[in-house]
């Protein structure tokens, strides 16, 4: 072997020969892989292994490729003296490894051809073998576009479902179609797939396919997708597109008309919506009607265009009745109808009566009764003028009437089955009678020449007139069914002596009450006298007690019962006088103190 070098291929050849039990072979042998696969743009490496008997050396190694005319075009000529690269289209993309393997960089689809390795070994003649370079390009994920115009189930021709497109693949792939996960197969006059293959300038292929298939109403839920299939390293692979749905046109089979909210809960004043729904696609044209006697009134102008919705605002009793929705399919001009009954619940004719209806006096009794009309069951409730619930049921008994009895009662009528449906009616209960004075400012402690307010408060119906026996500035106001009068006057000597009279009257009678005015000055003098008398009485009692105690200590007063009677009898008159004085004085003083305290309290109130 020239240069004393053993080509790597020789060693590989020996290994191969040993494995094949060919140690005794006397023939030059060249071994190469049958196929080498490489993706476009990558580098392909093709090995050439050979065996020369008796450890002989090769004379040369030639690399060739086979062109389209089946001619072998040399790429390299390798000898011990050097490597010669021929001027070919591969120049600049070829390289040799230490084992004389051929590498091709930036592989293109045009490189998909056969490459030959030829080994010459002098007397051992020439041997060669070949490798087929298989170039591939994984296609891009297929793109799918469904029919954008929609498909009618009544179409006379087999319609186009969708198109599928896969770009930049090598070698050319093939496309399959799937519906709901199952592959579709061509069927004569039913399912067809039309495919188109385009070779781009790059040598890569773009493949497209169009699916034609009949559709039914059930296909509105179907999903279609396509898949592109290719081979890689001896295995079949696939890339799938996204799933798409196709807009299917089909006539209406069922029509439904609804009342929102539920017809059972509609009441006067509500806003009601009639919703008409059809299961056709596209939705049909809707029309609305209301039955009036034997004719149908067209309400379509009131409906929302192309929506199947009719809004009724602030409905009342007259809105009740039968409504109709009519659909028209423009595809085949078929019509369908659906009716619904609208019941507007109401309460009307609320009446409240009083028994007896004659004039009421204090102490009388009266029965209030309430009645109303409605298509549903009603409940009755009574409330007073302050809104407080006082009774339930359509009858309410008021007994022992007084002026203080509420003047106004209301009957609240409700429908438990229809929330929010209610009506109310008020009634007045007037209890008549002559005035009754309930409060006056008497006695009133005053000082002469000061300005004071005299108050008189009464209750009566009809409303009474309040009059005063003296002149002054009067102010009247109502206080919870009571009439009150304040009279502002200056206290004179005559007013102190005579007081004032409050007179309240209406057509049924008169009530009068006297207001006493007490002079605070004289009251203070009386209080001084009373205080002095009390002090004197206390001193007399203290002195008397001391005398008795002294006599007892001196033994002048025996301790026995009989002796006590004898000794005390002569003093009985004196004791009696003391006791009577004490008793009278105390009762008088107590009365005076009470009066004095009252005067002080009244003065304080002033």
Nearest-5° angle of CA 461, CA 457, CA 476?
Answer: 85
At residue 423, the pLDDT reads 92
At residue 205, the pLDDT reads 93
Write the pLDDT tens digit of every residue in 433-450.
889 999 998 899 999 899
Range(s) of the domain holding residue 440: 433-519
At residue 558, the pLDDT reads 58
Domain co-membership, 144 together with 245 = yes
Res. 571: pLDDT tops 50: no
Write the pLDDT tens digit of every residue in 251-260.
999 999 999 8
Write the pLDDT tens digit of every residue in 212-234.
999 999 999 999 999 999 988 77
Answer yes or no: is 418 within a domain: yes
Cβ(59)–Cβ(122) under 8 Å? yes
Res. 36: pLDDT tops 70: yes
Torsion angles phi and psi, residue 548, rounded to 5 = -60, -45
What is the mean pLDDT of the segment spanning 287-299?
92
Domain co-membership, 71 together with 122 = yes
Domain co-membership, 319 together with 266 = yes
Choice among 44-58, 315-329, 484-498, 517-531 with the minimum mean pLDDT = 517-531
At residue 411, the pLDDT reads 95
Answer yes or no: is 531 within a domain: no
State the chain's mean pLDDT as an integer: 84
Rounded to two decimals, what is the model's pTM? 0.56
Comparing 554 with 588, the larger pLDDT belongs to: 554
At residue 452, the pLDDT reads 92
Res. 176: pLDDT tops 70: yes
Domain co-membership, 259 together with 301 = yes
Res. 582: pLDDT tops 60: no
Boundary residue ending a domain (387, 413, 429): 429
249 vs 299: CA distance, rounded Å: 28
What's the CATH code of the domain at 371?
Answer: 2.60.40.10
Domain co-membership, 459 together with 388 = no
Q: Model confidence at 353, in pLDDT bands (50, 70, 90)?
A: very high
What is the mean pLDDT of the segment spanning 35-49?
94
Answer yes or no: is 528 within a domain: no
Domain co-membership, 374 together with 443 = no
Domain co-membership, 356 together with 372 = yes
- The DSSP call for residue 250 is B
Answer yes or no: is 22 within a domain: no
397: burial class by Cβ within 10 Å (0-12, 13-18, 19+)?
exposed
At residue 225, the pLDDT reads 97
370: burial class by Cβ within 10 Å (0-12, 13-18, 19+)?
buried
Choice among 326-335, 336-345, 514-523 with the minimum mean pLDDT = 514-523
Answer yes or no: is 589 within a domain: no
Res. 555: pLDDT tops 60: yes
At residue 576, the pLDDT reads 36
Choice among 120-124, 484-488, 594-598 with the minimum mean pLDDT = 594-598
267 vs 346: CA distance, rounded Å: 6
Domain co-membership, 240 together with 296 = no
Domain co-membership, 215 together with 312 = no
At residue 77, the pLDDT reads 95
% pLDDT > 90, the chain: 61
Q: How many domains does the chain have?
A: 5
For 59-120, give the secondary structure using H, E and C: CEEEEEEECCCCCEEEEEEEECCEEEECCCCCCCCEEECCCCCEEECCCCHHHCCEEEEEEE
Comparing 461 with 451, the larger pLDDT belongs to: 451
Answer yes or no: is 4 within a domain: no
Which ranges of 277-434 does DSSP label H, i.e. alpha helix?
Answer: none
At residue 525, the pLDDT reads 56
Domain co-membership, 480 together with 514 = yes
Res. 529: pLDDT tops 60: yes
Q: Helix (H, G, I), strand (E, B), or coil: what is residue 597?
A: helix
% pLDDT > 70, the chain: 85
Boundary residue ending a domain (222, 249, 276): 249
569 vs 588: CA distance, rounded Å: 28
Query: Among 176, 127, 106, 165, which Cα is nearest to 10's?
Result: 127
At residue 4, the pLDDT reads 31
Domain co-membership, 34 together with 108 = yes
Comparing 559 with 507, the larger pLDDT belongs to: 507
Boundary residue ending a domain (384, 412, 429): 429
Answer yes or no: is 370 within a domain: yes
Comparing 521 with 330, the larger pLDDT belongs to: 330
- Cis amide linkage into residue 64, ω under 30° from 0: no
- What are residue 415's DSSP bridge partners? none
Answer yes or no: is 180 within a domain: yes
How far, CA to CA in Å, does 557 sit from each of 144, 345, 439, 564, 571? 142, 104, 61, 7, 12
At residue 480, the pLDDT reads 73
Domain co-membership, 368 together with 286 = no
């Amino acid at each position: 072997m020239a240069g004393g070098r053993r080509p790597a291929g020789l060693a590989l050849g020996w290994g191969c020969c040993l494995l094949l039990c060919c140690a005794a072979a006397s023939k030059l042998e060249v071994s190469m892989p049958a196929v080498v696969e490489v993706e476009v743009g990558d580098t392909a490496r093709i090995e050439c292994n050979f065996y020369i008997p008796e450890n002989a050396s090769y004379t040369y190694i030639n690399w060739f490729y086979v062109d389209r005319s089946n001619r072998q075009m040399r790429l390299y000529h390798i000898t011990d003296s050097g490597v010669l690269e021929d001027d070919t289209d591969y120049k600049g993309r070829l390289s040799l490894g230490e084992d004389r393997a051929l590498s091709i960089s930036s592989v293109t689809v045009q490189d998909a051809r056969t490459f030959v390795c030829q080994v010459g070994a002098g007397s051992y003649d020439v041997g060669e073998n070949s490798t087929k370079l298989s170039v591939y390009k994984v296609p891009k994920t297929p793109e799918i576009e469904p029919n954008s115009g929609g498909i009618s189930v009544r179409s006379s021709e087999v319609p186009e479902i969708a198109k599928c497109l896969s770009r930049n693949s090598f070698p050319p792939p093939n496309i399959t179609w799937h519906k709901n996960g199952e592959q579709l197969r061509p069927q004569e006059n039913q399912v067809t797939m039309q495919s188109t293959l385009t070779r781009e300038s790059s040598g890569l292929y773009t493949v497209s396919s169009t699916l034609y298939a009949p559709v039914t109403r059930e296909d509105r839920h179907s999903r279609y997708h396509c898949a592109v299939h290719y081979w890689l390293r001896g295995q079949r692979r696939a890339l799938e597109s996204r799933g798409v749905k196709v807009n299917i046109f089909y006539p209406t089979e069922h029509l439904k008309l609804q009342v929102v909210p539920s017809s059972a809960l509609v009441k006067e004043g509500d806003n009601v919506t009639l919703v008409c729904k059809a299961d056709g696609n596209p939705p049909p044209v809707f029309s609305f009607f209301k039955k009036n006697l034997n004719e149908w009134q067209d309400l379509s102008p009131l409906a929302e265009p192309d929506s199947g919705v009719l809004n009724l605002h602030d409905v009342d009793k007259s809105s009740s009745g039968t409504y109709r929705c009519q659909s028209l399919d423009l595809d085949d001009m078929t019509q369908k109808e659906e009716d619904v009954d609208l019941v507007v619940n109401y309460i009307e004719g609320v009446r409240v009566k009083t028994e007896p209806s004659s004039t009421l006096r204090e102490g009388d009794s009266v029965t209030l009764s309430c009645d109303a009309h409605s298509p549903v069951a009603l409940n009755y409730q009574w409330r007073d003028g302050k809104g407080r619930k006082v009774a339930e049921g359509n009858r309410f008994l008021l007994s022992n009437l007084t002026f203080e009895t509420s003047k106004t009662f209301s009957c609240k009528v409700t429908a438990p089955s229809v929330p929010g449906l209610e009506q109310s009616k008020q009634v007045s209960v007037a209890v008549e009678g002559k005035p009754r004075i309930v409060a006056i400012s008497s006695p009133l402690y005053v000082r002469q020449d000061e300005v004071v307010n005299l108050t008189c408060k009464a209750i009566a119906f009809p409303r009474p007139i309040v009059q005063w026996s003296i002149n002054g500035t009067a102010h009247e106001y109502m206080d919870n069914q009571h009439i009150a009068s304040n009279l502002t006057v200056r206290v004179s000597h005559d007013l102190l002596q005579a007081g004032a009279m409050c007179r309240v009257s209406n057509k049924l009678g008169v009530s009068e009450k006297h207001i006493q005015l007490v002079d605070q000055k004289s009251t203070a003098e009386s209080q001084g006298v009373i205080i002095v008398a009390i002090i004197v009485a206390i001193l007399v009692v203290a002195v008397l007690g001391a005398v008795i105690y002294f006599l007892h200590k001196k033994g002048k007063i025996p301790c026995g019962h009989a002796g006590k009677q004898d000794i005390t009898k002569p003093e009985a008159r004196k004791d009696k006088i003391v006791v009577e004085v004490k008793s009278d004085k105390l009762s008088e003083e107590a009365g005076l103190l009470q009066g004095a305290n009252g005067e002080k309290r009244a003065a304080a109130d002033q």
